[in-house]
Amino acid sequence: MSEEAKLFSDYEGKAAVRLARNSIETYLRTGKTLNSSESHLPAIFNEARGVFVTLTKKGQLRGCIGYPYADVSLSHAIVDSALSAALRDPRFPPVTIDEMGNIYVELTILTRPEIMDVVPKDLPSSIKIGRHGLIVKSSHRQGLLLPQVAVENDFDEIEFLGHTCLKAGLPHDAWMMGVDVYSFEGQIFSEKEPGGEIVEKDISKKTCSND
């Protein structure tokens, strides 16, 4: 993430990941949704921010859901995204409490998506792998891929555009046909081990997924 776009301190990032994990574990143990207003969070958590929560297990995706746009307070977005990633991602069965000891929690805080106002042929040269995430929109269809997806899958710019189109349910070359393409950046905080140390990931150095 570019220096000018950074939003969160190390302390705030760690608090965000802990909130995501605590939200999941509290619900799985008690059936109750964590009240983030009682968590004594830094003031920045009251601001509206886009955020995604990603869960992985043994190096494989286990759930990923979030808020692309800054529609609600960050604290609410984290709690809701964490529960959705664990329980409501349609690609996976719900996470169980017994799994949580093997699940890594990662949180990506998003900058505001900006439309890429260039002709389609110039889109690839306008994308920086390791910095940009993408959103493709066409009518009621939308697909989003986080910045780390391109790095972890060794996509080039054209592959990244193609896979974002596929995520939207569009042909892989739809980006050449005049769909709306947005870019954003993400500040990423991730557990080094389940429930353990939390670090900020620098994907520009091609940090790998957790094993």
Same-domain check for residues 165 and 199: no
Same-domain check for residues 35 and 96: yes
- Domain holding 33: CATH number? 3.30.700.20
Closest CA to 190 of 150, 154, 146, 155: 146
Residue 210, pLDDT score: 39
Q: What is the pLDDT of residues 67-101, one digit of tens each?
A: 999 999 999 999 999 999 999 999 999 999 999 99
Same-domain check for residues 180 and 192: no
Q: What is the pLDDT of residues 28-65, one digit of tens each?
A: 999 999 886 666 888 999 999 999 999 999 999 999 99
- Domain holding 171: CATH number? 3.30.1490.150
**Counting Cβ atoms within 10 Å, is residue 122 exposed (0-12), middle (13-18) or buried (19+)?**
exposed
Tell me how many domains the chain contains: 2
Same-domain check for residues 85 and 124: no
Q: Please indicate, yes or no, if residue 91 is contained in any of the structural domains.
A: yes
Residue 209, pLDDT score: 38
Q: Please indicate, yes or no, if residue 87 is contained in any of the structural domains.
A: yes
Same-domain check for residues 197 and 107: yes
Same-domain check for residues 60 and 148: no
Residue 38, pLDDT score: 61
Reply yes or no on whether the pLDDT at 5 is more than 60: no
Residue range of the domain that includes 50: 3-111+186-205
Residue 206, pLDDT score: 54
Give Cα 148 distance to the centre of its chain. 9
Q: Please indicate, yes or no, if residue 211 is contained in any of the structural domains.
A: no
Same-domain check for residues 107 and 170: no
Reply yes or no on whether the pLDDT at 1 is more than 60: no
Residue 46 — φ and ψ, nearest 5°?
-85, -10
State the average pLDDT for the chain: 92
Q: How many CB atoms lie within 10 A of CB 125?
A: 9
Bridge-based pairing of strands 103-110 and 180-191 is antiparallel
Same-domain check for residues 171 and 74: no
Same-domain check for residues 8 and 79: yes
Reply yes or no on whether the pLDDT at 129 is more than 60: yes
Q: How far apart are CA 112 and CA 98, in angstroms?
A: 36
Closest CA to 154 of 194, 209, 200: 209
Q: How far apart are CA 170 and CA 177, in angstroms?
A: 11
Q: How far apart are CA 205 and CA 179, in angstroms?
A: 30
Tell me the mean pLDDT in the region 142-165: 96
Q: Please indicate, yes or no, if residue 158 is contained in any of the structural domains.
A: yes
Q: How far is CA 201 from CA 70, 106, 157, 163, 207, in A?
A: 22, 10, 21, 23, 7
Q: Please indicate, yes or no, if residue 169 is contained in any of the structural domains.
A: yes
Same-domain check for residues 9 and 58: yes
Same-domain check for residues 191 and 174: no
Same-domain check for residues 97 and 128: no
Tell me the mean pLDDT in the region 159-178: 97
Alpha helices by DSSP H, listed for 31-132, are 74-87, 123-126
Percent of the chain with pLDDT strictly greater than 90: 86
CB-facing half-sphere around the CA of 199: CA atoms within 13 A: 8
Residue 208, pLDDT score: 37
Confidence of residue 166 (pLDDT cuts 50, 70, 90): very high
pTM for the structure as a whole: 0.87
